[in-house]
Structure 1
Amino acid sequence: MDIRHLIDTTRMSTYQWFIIGLASFLNALDGYDLVAMAFTSSAVSEEFALTGAPLGWLLSAALIGIGLGSLFLAPLADRYGRKTLILAALAIDLLGLTMSALADSFTELLLWRVVTGIGVGGILACVTVVVSEFSNLRFRGLAISIYSAGYGLGASLCGVLAAQFIPVYGWRSIFAIGAALTAASLALTAFALPESVDYLRGRGEHAKVRAVARRIGKTGEFEVREAGVDKQSASIAELFRGPLRATTIKLWIAFSLITAGFQFANQWTPKLLTEYGLSAQQGIIGGIMLSFGGTIGSLLFGSLTTRIDARRVLTAFTLLSAVVLVGFVSAAAWPTLMFALGVGVGMLLNGCVTGMYTVTPQAYPAALRTTGVGSAIGIARGGAVLAPIVVGYLLDAGWSPTALYSAAAVLVGVTALVLVGVREYTAPVVEREGVRV
């Protein structure tokens, strides 16, 4: 039995679940880091005398950084190791948060928010792959959903701390707390996270593979097979060779559509509900319902994948999301029903994001896994950055909230069609001296 097959088919050990917990903590920090600017925006605007346009750039700066980090930093993990790049990305994130807390001007803060995003982009791509590689087949979807749920928890923590600390210590305290938490995670990751066995196997480091296997409780007999035909150079160009070309294009489109729909709903819901005639307080409650539903959605998606193929669950979630998006805004005249549907919108859209994180690593060979995930996340950040901006222009052009939600529903629904044909990667069968390998 090969080590990959051993991990895929045997029971999850306590240490494997610890790795999932550590990944969830890192994702919670990413959630904290990304919403820190939103919660400090009023205080920052007051100190630097910012109008809407420069504030908008500050709110988008980290998303731009994530795109850069996912596209250009994450592929290095397939060359130098998952753990190595996670540590490097955490260090970049720590630098960005620390310098954000010390920024004395709009330009400085903008720069360091981009740097923070670069670190977060590297972390997201690498940790997603680590979760997939250290989980068995039965619980892989659940493990990724637990990991994804960490984002909402971290974002919520940032909001609670902002309410308590900004009035007393100022907006810089939020970035300082984020830096302290990131420093702690850097030390914990260096000590507790093992290197990926798939990466080590691909490099032929058999002794290290066996050491990691013992660490995660895999003490049975197994072989350490060479990567063979799976071994490829880790570059984005490799994602477009042979049958991977169609897979990559489909995943990039699907990730972009899901991310655009997710960002639209999460960032614009409070404002659009007030445009529909609801009070500002009701708009805020609507946004909270989406966030609350998001945590449930990640866990629900993972639970379902323990019994149903992740691609089928993702397809169902995208189609249901399209229906519930339209139902949500159509129920604006009945706030109680609308808030209930808001939970459904957050649950299903967040489940779709979790689904993309589940399906994408499985679609690539081990040697290209981080490159594949990182490129998809990076491309999808284009949708994340553009969606809120485009919606603003459409709203100014006279589009109604119902029309905007309907358009978002169409985009999310189309994802189900785009994903047709995406399958888990299987290495081609070749013959060596008459033996099929």
Structure 2
Amino acid sequence: MTSTVRSLAAGAPLEPRGGGLVPAPVHGVGLVLLVGGLLIAQILDGMDLNALSFVGGVVRKDLVLTRAMFGACIGAASLGTAAGAALFGAIADRFGRRRTLLLVVLMFGCGALATSQVQNVTELLVMRCLTGVALGGLLPISSALLLGNIAAAARLTAVTIVCAGSAGGTMLAGFVSSSVVPHFGWRAMFIVGGLAPLVIAPLLFLIVPSDRKAGSVIGSAERAPMGHGRSDDAFLFRGGVWPLTLVLWTAMFIGAFPVFVSVGWLPSLVAAKGASMAQAAVSLSVFSIGGAVGGIVAGGLADRFGYRVILPMALAGAMATALLGMSIGGSSTALIAGGAGFFVVGLLNLMGALVGRAYPDAIRGLAIGASLAVMRIGAATAPWAAGKLLDLGGGARLLYILCAVAGIVSGLVFMIAARLPRADTAP
């Protein structure tokens, strides 16, 4: 019997491959091209995921949608991403990450093009759900590819750089909607969002390493995560693995609350204090930009100091989140929102990257995808729970204090995962 997983502190199980020789990690120009290509793909993923939100008014008018119908279409995409993260993570582990990555990029490109042709709410609902499934598959596959092909000293930095593409995609969606839609209509938004992934697919084919790359090798002194074909590592809940899996999922679910409460409610709360819609939008934009930068910085620190950066970021994020709740409507709201995003979004991105280190390479895509699916469930629950609290008379201060508590709890739970002993053996 062989061990299937270690704690985050110990890292994933290691073993030599192929008679003491393993493929050399991607480095130099190849590393820059790989991270850059995956970053571009993630930016387009983020743009397509958020495109409907930016053209909501004209879509509702053109297709004669109620607010509830339109909300269901947005929710369908989110539910699709949750399913796609776990589904395509597992498919990539089984059939190869390179080919599955290309598949999901082509799928969400075609899904966006199909969305541009919908004529009623049913078609829009179905297409957003199916497109969401493909969109959800990109990040777990990209993360698993980077963790499996990059030297240990730069892995988490690379993963968090790619994660930052989601925020970049949101900003790109805003730019495209403001520059294209007024001249060509809302359908042009999805035509642009569909053609761009189809254009970059050949680029990804050239720069993403194959799953069984031949060529340069390094000696057996360098040890690599377990490769494909380990049938006893097929599940996340076998033997002693299940406590670690449940703890990691709990941390990801709770960690989604301070992030997606702000994503869903910050502009409305700022506007309710008398600010203009432009000022309200700036607060959320700065929050997202801060999160993208925070994730990259956190990844660099984690490459050097490991999981120990989690708790300081959680504590700093809690303080910034509580302060944001007290400052909403003031002149410093945007600045504090940027600081809160730096820590809470950066922390959530880092936790998603660290999950991949806890599992062997044979199930890494599934492990990352499943944790992202759980995080997406938290992302869907958080705005709803916040709305309930606000309806009951709780104000922004109480809401953000509870979010601060959630951030601390998430960090503490993740630290528990980092301290869990190495799993026993697979049955």
TM-score, normalized by the shorter chain, greater than 0.5: yes
Amino acid at match of 1:358: A
1:346 matches 2:356: no
1:320 is matched with which residue?
Answer: 316
Match of 1:28, SS state, is helix
Q: Shift in Å at residue 228 of structure 1?
A: 8.8
SS at match of 2:55: helix
Output the CA distance in 2 between the equivalents of 1:123 and 1:229: 20
Which of 355, 363, 370 is the matching residue for 2:358? Answer: 363
Percent of aligned positions that are identical: 26
Aligned to 2:46: 31
> Is 1:373–2:372 an aligned residue pair?
no
- In 2, the alpha carbon distance for the partners of 1:153 and 1:110 equals 25
Change in CA separation of 1:110 and 1:409 when aligned onto 2, cut-off 3 Å: same
Q: RMSD in angstroms over aligned alpha carbons?
A: 2.9
Q: Identify if the C-alpha distance between structure 1 residues 163 and 368 changes in structure 2 by more than 3 Å, giving closer, same or farther.
A: same
1:315–1:143 distance in 2 versus 1, CA, 3 Å: same
The aligned residue for residue 87 of structure 1 is: 102
How big is the shift at 1:221?
4.1
- Structure 1's 40 and 11: CA in aligned 2 closer, same or farther, altered over 3 A? closer
SS of the residue corresponding to residue 347 of structure 1 reads helix
Aligned to 1:186: 201
Residue type at the aligned position of 2:192: I
Q: Is structure 2 residue 227 aligned with structure 1 residue 232?
A: no
Amino acid at match of 2:304: R
Cα distance, 1:137 vs. partner? Answer: 1.4
2:249 alignment partner AA: W
Q: Which protein has greater RCO, CA pairs closer than 8 Å, 6+ apart?
A: 2
1:64-75 maps to which residues of 2 (within 5 A)? 64-75=79-90
Structure 1 gaps, min length 5: 197-207, 431-437
Q: CA deviation at 1:305?
A: 2.4
Counterparts of 1:322 and 1:374, CA distance in 2: 26
Q: 1:48-59 residue pairs with structure 2 within 5 A?
A: 48-59=63-74
Query: Of 239, 251, 254, which residue of structure 1 is paired with 2:251?
Result: 254
1:9-408 matches, cutoff 5 A: 12-196=27-211, 208-209=212-213, 211=214, 214=215, 218-222=216-220, 227=226, 231-232=230-231, 235=234, 238-309=235-306, 311-332=307-328, 334-336=330-332, 338-408=333-403
Paired residues of 1:325 and 1:405 also in contact (CA < 8 A): yes
Deviates more, 1:259-268 or 1:121-130: 259-268
Question: TM-score scaled by structure 1?
Answer: 0.86
Stretches of structure 2 that go unaligned for 5 or more consecutive residues are 1-14
CA contact (8 A) 1:35 1:158 kept: yes
Instruction: Give the counterpart letter for 2:96 in structure 1.
Output: G
Which stretch has the larger CA shift, 135-144 or 112-121? 135-144
**TM-score when scaled to structure 2?**
0.88
**2:268 and 2:135 mapped to 1: Cα distance?**
27
What's the secondary structure of 2:180's corresponding residue? Answer: helix
